[in-house]
Amino acid sequence: MHQESAENQERTRRLVEEFRRRYEGDPIVVRAPGRVNLIGEHTDYNDGFVLPIAIEHDVRIAVRPRSDRIVRLYSINFNSDTEFDLDNLKRDEQHPWGNYVRGMAVELMKDGRLLHGMEGVVEGNVPVASGLSSSAAMEVASGLAFLAASKEVVEPRNLAVMAQSAEINYMGVRCGIMDQFVSRMGFPGHALFLDCRSLDYELVPIEMGDYVFVATDSRQSRELAGSAYNERRAQCEAAVKALSQGGAPICALRDVTLEQLEQAKDRLELIVYCRARHVVTENARVQEAVAALKGGDLSLFGQLMNESHESLRDDYEVSSPALDSLVAAAREVEGCLGSRLTGAGFGGCTVSLVRKDRLDAFREHVGRNYQEDYDLEPYFYITAAAAGAGLCTPEGCPSTTAAQAA
């Protein structure tokens, strides 16, 4: 395990210190990361392909078990407490962050896990509602905390599926499996090529050479449950329903070729056709992107990122003027091979492939342009492919490889 950054070591120290101040004794510490999806957007809930990486930004929870069924947690970020009884679960409308923990408790108990109560402290540095999947990080970290406190074990893939179910059933967001899966299963120095139908996956080494990925936060948040996310999902389902009437065995847009879609165009509403065209072409782009990484062709990878953004903007209509501004400015910088929105869209972040020696120029140009357009300073995160969720030890938490952190 690569030595953690000094910043992350300090985060864990403060977390444990706060735990001891409140509860005394030594806690169990778990972490679960956010993610950046390199390409493959809105394909996961269509049984398609995605290519995310786990990132170093994460949620950390320090806990110890209780002898009863009460769960009591304090959030450093929100300076608030949440408390509930595992035998009488009710939503916390005042402190919504606590509902992710409740959702995981529901799913684990539904799976037959015998949970103990627990008490502890939560801290995270994944920007909330930014498109870097703070919700999945919270769900997976909560799941690991329950398992550690209760001395239960759940196979990693199954925990990811439970975390997805918590988001759908308890938070009301009909998300796909990608965010929770890579948060649990990510691997240092690798992208995770995931088949969202079978949950088969391949760890694809990323040979970045002189390049890095930069996530740029528009600072315009988007709340998935209140956005057009569920509407897009319904439109995809409408496309599947119409296409399956042609006799072909179609269960999801994953099963549709571009040729089939074009042949059925006249039978689809224009908006439904456009939504389907994005998903079908995006699945193809993900597979091309994996081949590009394996072949060390970062220029092609960047080109595919650009095409993905255009499709998300025009066919799927989940971009925003702010995201388009960031992408356009990024592409104006020499040494930027590609840029696209990442996450569900409607706000949040972009991801760009940038040459290391052009990072200062990139931040300066994109920052100045965005400040002029929106009177906001964007946040920049240099992202390396990090480890997925796990238990922390006295030596530190799972982190990136030395090569990726350089």
Return the H-helix or E-strand segment holding 349: strand 349-355
Count of other CB atoms within 10 angstroms of residue 358: 17
Q: Give the side-chain half-sphere CA count within 13 A for 107.
A: 28
Q: Which two tokens stand for residue 16?
A: 């444990």
Give 3-state DSSP helix, strand, coil % of the chain, rounded to 5: 45, 20, 35
**Which position has the token pair 């040729």?**
259
Q: Which two tokens stand for residue 148?
A: 């550690």
**N-term to C-term CA, the chain:** 15
179 is catalytic: yes
Q: Which two tokens stand for residue 41?
A: 């957007």
383 CB-near residues (< 8 Å, 6+ apart): 36, 53, 55, 56, 212, 213, 214, 215, 351
Backbone CA torsion sign across 7, 11, 16, 20: positive
Return the H-helix or E-strand segment holding 63: strand 49-65
Please report, as a single letter, which amino acid is at residue 327.
V
Of 120, 34, 149, nearest to 386 by C-alpha is: 34
Q: Which two tokens stand for residue 109?
A: 């108990």
**Which position has the token pair 């799941």?**
143
- Catalytic residue (choose from 179, 217, 255, 315): 179
Return the H-helix or E-strand segment holding 379: strand 379-383
Instruction: Collapse the DSSP code of 278 into the 3-class scheme (helix H, G, I; strand E, B; otherwise coil) and give the result.
Output: helix
Detail the DSSP E strand segments found in 309-348.
336-342
Residues marked as catalytic: 179
